[in-house]
Structures are given as C-alpha cells and as structure tokens.
Amino acid sequence: MPEGDTIHRLARRLVPALVGRPIARLWVRDRGEVPALCGATVIAVEAVGKHLLVGIGDAHVLHTHLGMPGRVRRTGGAAFPTWDTSAIVATPEGAVVWRSARTAVLCRRDDPAFVRALQRVGPDLLAPEVDLGDVVRRAHASSDGARPLVDVLLDQSIAAGIGNVFKSEVLFACGLAPTRALASVDPTQLRDAYALARAMLQQGVRDGHRDTVHVVDPGRLRAPGDQLWVYDRSRLPCRRCGAAIVRVALGVDRRGTYLCPVCQRDVA
C-alpha cells in the first residue's frame, strides 16, 4: 500500500496536468461515462493522508485510494477502460488513468458518506502543521493500551501517512519492538516516533525518494543504495549491530514487518 509520501508526490505531479483544465472526458468505475461534467474545470488535486482527491467544478470530487495494487499513469493520448480501470480523467491535453484502485468514487463534496470517510482520517503527518501531542492522545484513546505498536502506527485514524515501509523504519530507529504494547511506551517516546515518521515522510516528498538512513544519521558513511535501515533487508546484517534482519508477519493484518531482533528486543 502506498505511503503518504507517495500520494503527496503523486498529487504534486498531477496538479500541472489537471488543475485549471476543462474535463474532456470522465469515466468512473461505479458510473461509467459521466458526460454531465464534461467542460467542468478541475479546481484542485490534493492528498489527504493516503487519499487522493480531484476537485471538479464547484460541487464534485473524485475520491480515490490506491490500496495495495492500485496505480496511476498519465497518457498524452486517449484512454479507454479495461478490466482493471478505476477512473479516467481526460483533458484536451491527455488523460490520467487510475487502475486497480481500492476506492474510486465520484461524489458531491457535501455527500455524507464522503464527509464521514475524511473525518475518519487522522491528522496528516505531511500537513504544514501537526499537533503531535494530539496524535499521542488519539493513539491512547484508540485502545485499552494492549494494542501493539505495529497496529498503532498503521492506524490511519490516529495519524495518516505511515505505511508498511515507514512503520518498520520508525520502530527500528526508535529501538521499539513491534509487538510492544502501547501502554508500556512513554508518551514522549511515542511522540518522538511520530515526529520521526513525519521527518521521514517529508524527506520522501522533498527528495522524490526515501532515505530513512540519512534522516536518522545524516553523516553515516554507506554504499550507494543503502537508504533503508531494515525494510526489505531480511537476512542482511543490521546496520547497527550486525545481527540478521528478520521479516515477521505481525498485527491484525499479518503484514510483513522487518526488524532487528537485537536492537528491538522487547525489554518493556
């Protein structure tokens, strides 16, 4: 599933392609062709956590969420729906095509279901200002304290933007075991974890690629391509202690989590 930095970078790329341009064709998975909005102007493309919103005219929005298999591509010519097409927004200059998106819904801005969906999204860690104290309070209000950190960090209703990559990277960098219970983590330590996640996401958007090693240790000497601490490094040596990195299916979704069994030993 794309992380928040990916969606924010995507939104930036789509702004010059869509914003201010009239719609020549709109096709959405749940509706098919939408001729009523042809000629309407795209007024905004914005990321809210992992949600990508395309504002159309004064009243409508194309609400998309890529999920795990989803992807977006631009084409300079015509685009036609295939079995995996989720949405097509075409202007006179070309088209943007969503494929295999988890969510692709055209709705009115005041649609109650759309409003509720965005209300369920926690503070976007890539927003210009984020109250991390509020994020910590939301985390503690989300469970009885027994919830493991591996699930807390991925909960988009607490804070939006962290995905599987940054979950593993943040927990390693903070020396926290993924299975550690939320209640056993000091609030300051939890705040620092979200602050680090925010810094990692910001670096990913700013530089166009992820380099969590540099975020944590800017002066570290390393080989080209050594940009992540643990993610996708199963069986390779830990960059801190040399122990073999392991991949374990953890959390309610049993998603792969990369960790160092020495640096992240649960001592709580």
Q: Which pLDDT tens digit goes with each residue over 151-205? A: 999 999 999 999 999 999 999 999 999 999 999 999 999 999 999 999 999 999 9
Indicate which residue of 50, 123, 169, 178 is catalytic.
50
Mean pLDDT in the chain?
92
pLDDT (mean) for 61-86: 90
Q: Which residue ranges make up each domain of the chain?
A: 4-119, 132-259
DSSP-assigned letters across all residues of 208-256: SS--HHHHH-TT----TT---SSTT-TTSBPTTT-PBPEEEEETTTTEE
Max CA separation in the chain (angstroms): 61
What band does 143 get if pLDDT is binned at 50, 70 and 90? confident
Is 2 catalytic? The answer is: yes
Is 167 catalytic? The answer is: no
Is CATH 3.40.190.10 the right assignment for the domain spanning 132-259?
no
The answer to whether 121 and 160 are in contact (CB under 8 A) is yes
Residue 150 Ramachandran class (φ > 0 left, ψ -120 to 50 alpha, else beta): alpha
Supply φ then ψ for residue 126, to 5 degrees. -100, 10
| Percent of the chain predicted with pLDDT > 70 | 99
Q: How far apart are CA 182 and CA 139, in angstroms?
A: 8
Indicate which residue of 3, 167, 169, 178 is catalytic.
3
Q: What is the pLDDT of residues 209-233, one digit of tens each?
A: 899 999 999 888 777 778 999 999 9
Q: How far apart are CA 44 and CA 61, in angstroms?
A: 9
**pTM for the predicted model, two decimal places:** 0.87
pLDDT given at position 68: 79
Q: How far apart are CA 219 and CA 197, in angstroms?
A: 19
Is 69 catalytic? The answer is: no
Q: What are the tokens at 183?
A: 């209640």
**Domain 4-119 has what CATH class?**
alpha beta
